[in-house]
Amino acid sequence: MLKQIITLLSVTAAACSIQVAGAAIPSDSEIEAAVERTLSKMTLDEKIGQMTELSIDVLGDWKDGEFFLDPQKLHEAIAVYKVGSVLNAPGGPTAQTPEKWEKLIGQIQDVSIKEIGIPCIYGLDQNHGTTYTLGGVLFPQNINVGASFNPALARVAAEITAYETRAANCPWTYSPTVDLTRDPRWSRVWENYGEDPL
């Protein structure tokens, strides 16, 4: 028993001594101060709203294969509920053009800046290529890319997805998925690269 306790303590000490990697983006004191000033002015409801993410489907409707925002729904979501994030995963019949995404995202940002003074975090769920944008490059699901054991291929796919997503005026894409997703119904989940992070 003592040997097990010593082993456990040794492993714990070794784990605690591992240094955390540095920040990917260096801290900027002016930006941090501006963020703190903004947060100090916000109510609890506003902070909760900023942590809320809606699917774009609840903000509009489809007509002839094209998605249109409903101005009243958009205004209510942002002005009343202070929603801070919108995920684009529309269940409609057709992917939209980069120009259409630029217009939609611009409309959302205009309302967000006007009503609460904070940009909306808008994300396209482009997990295996530019799947929600007409003319975009599609790739196999990440589990298939992982099965190729080719990290360079995964990197190039992510770079292309990021480039094409940004070309549609979208600042954020839910890709690549690097978490270790597990679902008890299946042995693997298609959105990540597998169970081994290495």
Q: What SS3 class is residue 87?
A: strand
Got the DSSP string for 37-60? HHHHH--HHHHHHHT-EEEGGGGE
Alpha carbons 53 and 120: distance in angstroms, whole number: 10
Which segments of the chain have a pLDDT < 70?
1-21, 89-90, 181, 187, 195-198
**Quick one: pLDDT at residue 77?**
96
Which tokens go with 73? 């729904």
The per-residue pLDDT for range 61-118, each reduced to its tens digit, is 999 888 999 999 999 999 999 999 998 866 777 888 999 999 999 999 999 999 998 8
To which H or E segment does residue 66 belong? Answer: strand 66-69
Q: In degrees rounded to 5, what are phi and psi of residue 173?
A: -125, 145
**Quick one: pLDDT at residue 152?**
94
